[in-house]
Amino acid sequence: MTHRKRFFIRIVCWMLAIGFAAALPAVANDSEESDSLAYLLAQMSVLSAYDFETDTAGTAVADTDFAADWSILLAGGGTAAVAEDTAGKYAKFDKYSAVELKNMYFGPSESYAVSYRGKFGEKGHNYLFVRGTQVLKRNGTVMNWYESDGSGAGSGVGGSGIYFRVYNDDQIQVSVKSYDANKGKHVATNEALLSVYPEGEGTLTADFHTYTCYDNGNGTIWFYIDGEHKATILYSGATTYAADNYETVATATANPIHASYYKDVAVLNAAGETKLSVENALVAVEGRVAFGHRNVTNTYYDEIKVYTKDLKIDLSGTSKYGTGNLSLLTGDESTKRCFVGMDTFAYFRNSGGMALNLGTIDLSKYDRVTITWWDAACGNARTLAAGNVNFALTTTGALDTTTNKQVEQAGVNKLASWSLSAAKSISAKDDFRSAETITLPLNSSYSGNLYLAYMGTTNAVAVSQITLHAKAPVKVPETSLWKDISYRGNVFSGYFKDAACAIPYDAGDSEDPGAAYVKFVDANVLSVKAQKSDGTDGKKNIRFVTTVDSLNYKKVGFEITVGGKTIFKETTKVYEALQAGTQQIEPGVFSSQSCYFAAYSLWEIPESAFDTEIKVRAYWETPNGIVVYGAYKTVTVNGLE
Ligand SMILES: [Ca+2]
């Protein structure tokens, strides 16, 4: 029908369904656990990684840089030293020892993973602990990872948590600590022996293999060998045990602190069969990661890595004395400086207008940033006025290379910004000046060189920590909850597997069942605009137009109500641009997030209906099959321009 050209020319037509399929990469499913683990780890940041290649054979592990992140505990003639053979260097442990990730506890909803290459040359007393309690000593008795509870009650190693050990060439053992009032120290051990290879086909004691434990922080742990899924642990039911006397030594008698534990724990093999259920487990809510060894020989570790979803930016790695940093206002790097002091904090001097280079960061994984700062003008009591401390995260988008790192403040692309909202008093005696923590929302998927800019007027401010917080997956709720939802001016756009919200979530996915990232987009994307044009014989046409932000939808449509009758018109075709008369319009007229148009027209409306109200709203179906509606718009032919 040629008259349709009065409204638009199809400049470039896209199919939503095709776009949806094309956007779906080859990701994990039940038969591709290796890909699944690689996918999970790719979503995380490496918190710590060490391979001993720069160390000299024979060096005590405690004297290597590995000890920067891990505490090395030796007992009973234990040794831990760097060994070397033709394959490279690694750590060799003998007798009794334990290795704990320093000062790091993983709490509820915090995902983390720990991975290492290991070789265990005998029926192993080698243990990887996760979700052990943060308290390792109680009642003055050392309760360490490598020894029994000292009561003769036979709890084996450790006092809490879950441990994995290589049991023989073909089997691993997964053990869950539990509370037992009848045992010494109330600790018992519950063991599941899992056959992870057909009998006689494994080489776990003969060769190095890569062991990885991924804990989603939300009730599920997956254990892998060489990327193959071998065990699943489910945990739930946080509780405290009244008679438990796990507590800090300092407060053991007067004021015991009871740790919180998940009590309901199940161990499943790779086939999903439950091999162990525990109803009174000591699996810590605030858990930590450790290795323990009990009277071992021929025990080797290499490539020990810890992954987390939150990224703590290492200030010791940032540039010093202005190198690579920006002077925002004047370009004068001689007086306006930010630098890293004592490798531990960033120092902004001589009032604002400078930015610290934080390195290349992909913000698509994060949705908040926390900045810990204090006033660094030493000595005098004073008051910071509201507004005179002012931070922003910025890109280099406005960097002026001709003026050598100078960039105008107005041109700074702010990804997040904050300023002191109320006056703040500081006493003369304030060491570290009452450090404050601020958390800002991030609303950007920027990836590239990131700067922390200081634009305040206080002449000395120090920043001791910058943490980017990972977007947290949420449990997928009943789909009906999201149908009409708008959230702070945004509409629901779908569930996704990745924090960047690029890969649609499929309920059949196995790596984190029920958990997905939720994407919202500007509600204006799904709003409706209407245009009028001439039909034949004095009649009029109306074209309704809406937009989508991506091709990640199954369809888009309009619900149109006239005279009490409602019709639904849907399409999978969207357009990069539309023609309105002689003018080409772009999707950005709806929202900066809009990328494609969808349209539907009512043709040949007679003059008798020119004042009839037409109520319309747009909707889309997310890749997960949820239909979401935008806001209503009511028009009449006479009411349109
Ligand atoms: Ca190595």
Residue 12 exposed, middle or buried by CB count within 10 Å (0-12, 13-18, 19+): exposed
CA of 301 to the centre of ligand 1 (A): 8
Segment 117-136, tens digit of pLDDT: 999 977 678 999 999 875 44
CA of 221 to the centre of ligand 1 (A): 26
Provide mean pLDDT across the span 250-256: 40
Domains of the chain are 1-43+472-641 (2.60.40.10), 45-308 (2.60.120.560), 312-470 (2.60.120)
CA of 631 to the centre of ligand 1 (A): 59
CA of 305 to the centre of ligand 1 (A): 12
Residue 172 has pLDDT above 70, yes or no: yes
The tally of CA atoms less than 13 A away on the side-chain side of residue 570 is 13
Closest CA to 180 of 251, 263, 100: 263
Residue 401 has pLDDT above 90, yes or no: no
CA of 90 to the centre of ligand 1 (A): 5
* Contact call for residues 137 and 127 (beta carbons, < 8 A): no
Beta strands in 497-563 (DSSP E): 515-522, 529-534, 540-548, 555-562
CA of 108 to the centre of ligand 1 (A): 33
Residue 413 has pLDDT above 90, yes or no: no
Please tell me the distance from the alpha carbon of residue 331 to that of residue 399, in angstroms, as a whole number: 11
Look at 13 and 21; give whichever has higher pLDDT: 13
Q: Which of 408-417, 424-433, 485-494, 553-562 comes out lowest in average pLDDT? A: 408-417
Question: So what's the pLDDT on residue 402?
Answer: 44
CA of 81 to the centre of ligand 1 (A): 13
DSSP 20: H
CA of 43 to the centre of ligand 1 (A): 24
CA of 51 to the centre of ligand 1 (A): 4
pLDDT band, very low/low/confident/very high, at 170 (cuts 50, 70, 90)? very high
CA of 302 to the centre of ligand 1 (A): 5
* Contact call for residues 441 and 399 (beta carbons, < 8 A): no
pLDDT band, very low/low/confident/very high, at 485 (cuts 50, 70, 90)? low
CA of 472 to the centre of ligand 1 (A): 33
pLDDT band, very low/low/confident/very high, at 257 (cuts 50, 70, 90)? very low
CA of 388 to the centre of ligand 1 (A): 50
Mean of per-residue pLDDT scores for the chain = 76
Question: So what's the pLDDT on residue 436?
Answer: 77
C-alpha distances in Å from residue 536, one per residue of 41, 60, 248, 579, 614: 61, 90, 86, 20, 20
CA of 117 to the centre of ligand 1 (A): 9
Question: So what's the pLDDT on residue 326?
Answer: 54
Q: Which of 6-15, 198-207, 216-225 comes out lowest in average pLDDT? A: 6-15
Look at 378 and 615; give whichever has higher pLDDT: 615
CA of 34 to the centre of ligand 1 (A): 22
Provide mean pLDDT across the span 510-523: 69
Please tell me the distance from the alpha carbon of residue 515 to that of residue 497, in angstroms, as a whole number: 8
CA of 350 to the centre of ligand 1 (A): 46
Residue 307 has pLDDT above 80, yes or no: yes
Please tell me the distance from the alpha carbon of residue 395 to that of residue 9, in angstroms, as a whole number: 38
Q: Record the tokens describing residue 467, joined without a space.
A: 């943490």
DSSP 339: E
CA of 99 to the centre of ligand 1 (A): 17
CA of 304 to the centre of ligand 1 (A): 9
CA of 303 to the centre of ligand 1 (A): 6
Question: So what's the pLDDT on residue 280?
Answer: 93
Look at 350 and 486; give whichever has higher pLDDT: 350
CA of 53 to the centre of ligand 1 (A): 5
Reduced to 3 states, what is the DSSP secondary structure of residue 87?
A: coil
CA of 48 to the centre of ligand 1 (A): 14
CA of 119 to the centre of ligand 1 (A): 12
Question: So what's the pLDDT on residue 111?
Answer: 80
Question: So what's the pLDDT on residue 296?
Answer: 87
Helix (H) or strand (E) holding 42: helix 33-42
Residue 98 has pLDDT above 90, yes or no: no
- DSSP result, 181-244: TTSGGGEEEEEEEEE-S-TT---TTTS-EEEEEEE-SSSEEEEEETTEEEEEEEEEEEE--TT-
Provide mean pLDDT across the span 246-253: 39
CA of 111 to the centre of ligand 1 (A): 26
pLDDT band, very low/low/confident/very high, at 474 (cuts 50, 70, 90)? low
CA of 65 to the centre of ligand 1 (A): 13
Question: So what's the pLDDT on residue 530?
Answer: 93
Sign of CA dihedral 398, 403, 404, 408: negative
CA of 136 to the centre of ligand 1 (A): 30
CA of 212 to the centre of ligand 1 (A): 17
Highest mean pLDDT (candidates 163-177, 232-246, 322-336): 163-177
Provide mean pLDDT across the span 319-326: 47
104 backbone dihedrals φ, ψ, rounded to 5°: -135, 115
CA of 518 to the centre of ligand 1 (A): 39
Question: So what's the pLDDT on residue 405?
Answer: 42
Q: Which of 71-85, 350-364, 557-571 comes out lowest in average pLDDT? A: 350-364
Q: pLDDT above 70 covers what percent of the chain?
A: 72
CA of 572 to the centre of ligand 1 (A): 53
Look at 335 and 572; give whichever has higher pLDDT: 572
Question: So what's the pLDDT on residue 119?
Answer: 93
Longest CA pairwise span in the chain (Å): 101
Question: So what's the pLDDT on residue 421?
Answer: 82
* Contact call for residues 78 and 61 (beta carbons, < 8 A): no
CA of 84 to the centre of ligand 1 (A): 8
Q: pLDDT above 90 covers what percent of the chain?
A: 30
CA of 300 to the centre of ligand 1 (A): 10
CA of 88 to the centre of ligand 1 (A): 5
CA of 64 to the centre of ligand 1 (A): 13
Segment 55-93, tens digit of pLDDT: 999 999 999 999 988 888 888 788 999 999 988 999 999
CA of 299 to the centre of ligand 1 (A): 14
Please tell me the distance from the alpha carbon of residue 465 to that of residue 195, in angstroms, as a whole number: 45
Question: So what's the pLDDT on residue 443?
Answer: 65
The model's pTM: 0.53
CA of 216 to the centre of ligand 1 (A): 28
pLDDT band, very low/low/confident/very high, at 96 (cuts 50, 70, 90)? confident
CA of 96 to the centre of ligand 1 (A): 22
Segment 214-229, tens digit of pLDDT: 998 888 899 999 988 8
CA of 52 to the centre of ligand 1 (A): 5
Question: So what's the pLDDT on residue 605?
Answer: 93
C-alpha distances in Å from residue 359, one per residue of 43, 52, 431: 19, 25, 29
Please tell me the distance from the alpha carbon of residue 572 to that of residue 396, in angstroms, as a whole number: 38
